[in-house]
Structure 1
Amino acid sequence: MVQSGPSQAIASRARPGCAGRQVSSGGATVETVKLGFVPAHRVPFDEQWARDMRRRCLSVMQQQPGIEWVVPDEGLTEGGIVRNDEDAEKVTKLFRDQGVQGIVIGAMTFGDEVSAVAVAQSLSGLPVLLFGTKEGDFLPDGGRRSDSFCGTLSIASGLYRRRIPFVFAGILFPEEPLFAQEINRFAGTCNTIKNFMGAKIGLIGPRPERFETCACDEVAMIQNFGQRLIPVSLPEVFVPARRLSDDDPDVQAIVADIKARADTSEVSNTTLARLSKLEKVLMDLAKSKGIRAMGLQCWNTIQMDYGVTPCLAMGRLTERGIMTACEVDIYGALTMLAQYEAARRVTVPHFIDWTIQHQQLENVFFAWHCGNAPMCLAAPGCRPQVRIQSILGKLFEGDAGQGAGEFELAPGPVTLSRLQEYDNRFKMLITKGEIIPDDRHLRGSWSWVKVENLDRLYRTLVQEGFVHHASMIPGDYSDVLAQFCQFAGIEVVLV
């Protein structure tokens, strides 16, 4: 067995979206994914060519950051390749024992379809990536070495015949840039499938009465994704938060971190303490129940009962790896989770409204919410401010209206997505844009986003029943999300 992966140590996990995982060549951090590689060969094609191609593939695969490879070595199968039923049984056991999250089948030569497909069939439920390798020069006698172009079709038809979902990377040499791109895309897909399917999602308080937008179907989540919705009443949060002392070490650490990273001059110490206690209780709740994402009722009960506006705490929870959506928008939280895992946790999303069109610029809209963005997304030189919330502050005086984290987000490419469900069928809007800078001081957590065609995007939102909430994450993860949707049974609406 050959196992490989980046040699860098795992660093601190305090802020999963901003720092703390395996370091890639570009300095970013990625969540490690374990993939199994099936180098398929058919006798009597050129076995030395198959072995050399296996070596060339592994040489490139092992350079990709954050991927741990599980591969049969020469002690497990002859030449470390898979050619018959016995090999397939050995490799299946290897993959199962090592807990691979996805399977990569490569036709090194023509490839034995039965053994290659048997591995995928025995580990049903795992995403599968198939690729073929290009042909070398003719042999001196005019014969061919590989016929992978032909054999890949046999493997593909075997997968299709058994209704095993798979994606096809192409026919290519491993040294081609597209090979590494497809491998990394698939790694993101596998990470998303692993952490999205079967996830536990917190429903913290009921949705706002006038926001039918945030309705969700728990049964649809169970049937489609095997997910579990965990309802939590607001008193289950407020009571333990009130019991915490201002001198609690965890509370003091959160307060100190907020003060170190944001301007808190406009809010009271009481507000900071309440925000910090809320963050601690929700984080402890997520850890104890295994919650990966949550929707929180962020108005009006929390202001009337607990006496703070939770926007900043929600952004900090997202930054710490617990995706937290406003207004108990569970499908919004699922969208955030999909984006976060598609990015392999190198960054975190901002839960936004499609708010307004730019008053002068074409194809530019205001991606905004009240003050919930993770502070690690702030624009360079923009120090976040903790302030009275720009909307709820008109309804609640004093500490109750305080708690928004206000700042402009950093410029650069972004991916925008929204998961929606009607009649037990899920679909996801996926589009791309770019945050453009603005020198004004505006309220909330915000950015101006330029897209290719705002009219077409907006018409799609309207005509496809997408709501006014979305998730936006730095970087281009549109291909990963689309591939994830293919395996998760989600219709892709690409704009």
Structure 2
Amino acid sequence: MARFILGYAPTRRFVFSAEDAYRYKVLIREKIESFGLDIDIVDLEGLNEEGLLYDDLIGAEAIIERFRAAKVDAVFFPHCNFGTEDTVARVGKALGVPVLLWGPRDEAPLEDGMRLRDTQCGLFATGKVLRRFNVPFTYITNSRVDDPVFERGFVNFVGAAHAVKAFRELRILQIGPRPTSFWTMMCNEGELLERFGIELHPITLVDIQRATRKIEQHGAPGLDEAIAYIKETLDTTEVTDEAVRRIAALKVAMKRYATESKSTAIAIQCWSSLQEAMGIMPCLANAILTDEQIPVTCETDIHGAITSILAQAAAMHQTPTFFADLTIRHPDNPNGELLFHCGNFPVSLSVEQAKGEKPKLRKHFLFDDHSPGTHEGEIRGGGMTIVRFDGDHGEYSLFLGRARGIEGPYTRGSYVWIEVNDWPLWEQKLVEGPYVHHAVGIHADIVPVLYEACKYIPGLQADPVDPTEQEIQAWLRGSIQ
């Protein structure tokens, strides 16, 4: 992903203190830089003497030109006093990126009764005009610069804008059609393109087989590194060196296709034609690529790949996702559930690696040919978010819920047991749809982030189960901690 670029457009109005507005312009910029986010900021310095948005007659076009040239991914309009609402709306409308609206809380009137800023009043005005211009926006409660609610709202907005940026740039490398019996993996390619601009780049299993064989036999950039990673990181005693080389070659071939097609995610038909043709399972190759922030989903789950990109970007690429089956309920915990897949969870998440041990590279335990290629073992628990993008009948929604890892019985494959607030509620929502038995997990709390991101994706409805929509909104307002 290219670096995230934020347009910083502080605004004032002529009838209030220009000096105080300038002071707040500097204070707010210093504060957001102190949050430690990996973003670039493009401001208004040099466009006028103040570096503030305040004169609509000469201001809007110059600001739009600068931000377009910088390719900003979002724009922040801090109201340093009442602000100039018409220019804010024109700029926001022209850019078509996520918009953040906030202003610092006003001080008490001066001894002579005069007020310096009237920021809150201006926020009411700008919110109305943005609506008139049909500009979706995020609002943070009018609060002081050092108030935790400002930092909370700002960081949440940047994460949401990250997710929107990734969603708008989505192209998925599709390797093979869905498995014949998996009707749940049907998707409407034309509708994804028409509705969301999501592109698929399909290739056949023959294409990936030929590319893998060529790399395995003749070598390629990245092959030796992939082999070394597998042997150094995993216990490979159950498989042959030939299998390790082929798995590494598959990983290199998949990454090459993704890079050349400018795809940010991959969906692969992982069984059963692939192992019959190549003698390996792709699970470990999927795991390694997911660890490298190119998430790979099994069984040609296109909607799962979309989910993975949204979750990964919402966490600002700080941790990988894992793609799982929702499989069985915990034998003892009524709110417990097993998240599992054959062997595709990122190696960096494994419990063994956290202990300084080597997780196992094994042969598949279900299929009759028992092909090698599965990364097996438990992954770490802790807090996480479970997400699923899905839809049918032309309507799409994003399931969102919090979970935490818990103890549970050993099982084969990649797995983690989780506990949620009310599993029967989750189960009902998942079964009644439009969801399926696949979900994406990530070790980050991104429910409020993705809830906010849906505001900027027309046709996608946030569907939070824990916390609820009302609880998310209250948390963002600062009404609850």
Shorter-chain TM-score tier: over 0.9
Amino acid at match of 1:436: I
| Alignment deviations for residues 181-239 of structure 1 (CA, whole Å, 9 cap, x no partner) | 22211111222211211421111101011101101111121122111111111111101
Query: Contact 2:76–2:101 at 8 Å: present in 1 too?
Result: yes
1:262 equivalent in alignment to 2:234: yes
> Distance between the aligned counterparts of 1:223 and 1:479, measured in 2?
27
| Alignment deviations for residues 77-119 of structure 1 (CA, whole Å, 9 cap, x no partner) | 2322111121222222221121111011111111111111121
3-state DSSP of counterpart to 1:40: coil
Report the equivalent of 1:428: 398
Report the equivalent of 1:25: none
3-state DSSP of counterpart to 2:286: helix
| Alignment deviations for residues 106-142 of structure 1 (CA, whole Å, 9 cap, x no partner) | 111111111111211221x211111122111211211
3-state DSSP of counterpart to 1:44: coil
1:465 equivalent in alignment to 2:428: no
Percent identity (aligned): 29
- 1:6-405 alignment, distance < 5 Å: 32-64=3-35, 65-73=37-45, 75-85=46-56, 86-123=58-95, 125-245=96-216, 248=219, 250-379=222-351, 380-381=354-355, 383-392=358-367, 395-397=368-370, 401-405=371-375
Q: Give the alignment's TM-score, normalised by structure 1.
A: 0.90
> Distance between the aligned counterparts of 1:152 and 1:244, measured in 2?
59
Gaps in structure 1 of 5+ consecutive residues? 1-15, 17-30
3-state DSSP of counterpart to 2:10: strand
Shift of 1:38: 1.5
Amino acid at match of 1:389: H
> Distance between the aligned counterparts of 2:51 and 2:434, measured in 1?
51
| Alignment deviations for residues 444-487 of structure 1 (CA, whole Å, 9 cap, x no partner) | 11101111111111111122331000000011011111111111
> Distance between the aligned counterparts of 1:464 and 1:42, measured in 2?
49
3-state DSSP of counterpart to 2:141: strand
Query: Contact 2:216–2:246 at 8 Å: present in 1 too?
Result: no
Query: Contact 1:295–1:329 at 8 Å: present in 2 too?
Result: yes
Shift of 1:420: 0.6
RMSD: 1.5
Among 449, 461, 465, the alignment partner of 2:418 is: 449
1:419 equivalent in alignment to 2:384: no
Amino acid at match of 2:387: S
Query: Contact 1:316–1:375 at 8 Å: present in 2 too?
Result: yes
Report the equivalent of 2:474: none
> Distance between the aligned counterparts of 2:140 and 2:359, measured in 1?
43
Amino acid at match of 1:137: A
Shift of 1:358: 0.5
Gaps in structure 2 of 5+ consecutive residues? 466-481
Query: Contact 1:246–1:252 at 8 Å: present in 2 too?
Result: no
> Distance between the aligned counterparts of 1:134 and 1:258, measured in 2?
55
Shift of 1:370: 0.6
> Distance between the aligned counterparts of 1:44 and 1:136, measured in 2?
17
Aligned residue pairs, count: 458
